[in-house]
Structure 1
Amino acid sequence: MHDEIDRIIIAALMEDSRLSLKALARVSGLSSPSVAERLRRLEERGVLTGYTVMVDPKAFGYLLQAIVRIRPLPGQLHSVERQIQAIPQFTECDKVTGEDCFVARLNVRSMEQLDAILDKLADQAETNTAIVKTTPIKRRLPPLDDKQG
């Protein structure tokens, strides 16, 4: 489905999503129009779903990051999901199997803000919170080919 050239282009964009067509052409060995056509096809097939910048939340005063496991009380699943979606400090959330229904990433400015946000969920869900000390592996793709383990 994806050849080595696609993988090279995707890997280059993962390193720097602002690369120009000329730079992508240089790393892939294609012409700029050929790279543009490949990008268009990757977008149409839903392989490339967007281009982004990464911002350090600390630059905006969000000094603490927490991983919150959330277990809605009986009958509260959809209400809790809507509540999580409505709180902008939740920057990621996965609906998961197991005892907890959600695992979410929360960025806050203080422990007081963390408590206030979790208090909003307290009457609808049980939470278990871990403060993130460091992130040894930033979000990344799994290997794009079968050669890497």
Structure 2
Amino acid sequence: MDQIDKQIVSLLQSNAKISMKDLGEAVHLSSPSVTERVRKLEDQHVIEGYHAHVSLKKMNRPISALVLFTSRDCKALAEFCHDHPDVLECYRVAGEISYIVKLATYSVESLEQFIDDSMQYGTPSTNIVLSSYEKKIVEPFT
């Protein structure tokens, strides 16, 4: 990736709906040239997709939690998480715990139900999210 590609990626992370005309102007390229660069970045899987970022609160999911598992059956826990509607992300990790699950749900009762249902796969430790920060723009290492 050259400097122009880095600028393109940064601008698209800030505004994925930017027109190719505006993107081209921002990086001093023609629309066809910037479109070709974006296509190549997509083909190389530098750009993996375009997504709408939604408000969990407005989607009636005001309770977020990170649940750490010491798992008894890793594959079964992964399948359970994959199929559960409250799970947003699931990470298998090395160390004392085996999984970290990020979920968003509509009530403390539904969180309790998730914990109860998941206990057959391992021992959960639940951490309710009070506030969070998510980096929106990721810069490549040089």
Give distance in 1, aligned partners of 2:141 and 2:62.
37
Bigger relative CO (Cα 8 Å, ≥ 6 apart): 2
Structure 1 runs not aligned, ≥5 long: none
SS in 2 for 1:59: coil
What is the match of residue 13 of structure 2?
A: 14
Distance 1:50 1:23 in 2: 19
Cα offsets for 1:91-126 (capped at 9, x unmatched): 011111111111111101111000001111112211
Is 1:143 matched with 2:142?
A: no
TM-score, normalised by the number of residues in structure 1: 0.90
Measure the CA separation in 1 of the matches of 2:105 and 2:84.
11
Deviations 1:20-60 (A, max 9, x none): 10111011110000011001111111111101110011002
Listed as ranges, the gaps of 5+ residues in structure 2 are none
**1:92–1:49 Cα change, 3 Å:** same
SS of 1:60's partner is coil
Please state how far the C-alpha of 1:141 moved relative to its aligned partner.
4.6
5 Å-filtered alignment, 1:125-144, equals 125-135=122-132, 137-144=133-140
**Partner secondary structure for residue 126 of structure 2:** strand
Aligned residue among 111, 115, 128 for 1:114: 111
Contact 2:70 2:99 in 1 (8 A): yes
Rounded to whole Å, the distance in 2 between the matches of 1:89 and 1:139 is 22
* Structure 1 residue aligned with 2:84: 87
Aligned length: 142
Question: Percent of pairs identical after alignment?
Answer: 28
1:69 aligns with 2:68: yes
Runs of 4+ in structure 1 displaced over 6 angstroms?
Answer: none
Deviation at 1:142, TM superposition (A): 4.0
RMSD (CA atoms): 1.2
1:3 is aligned to 2:2: yes
Please name the residue that 2:95 is paired with: 98
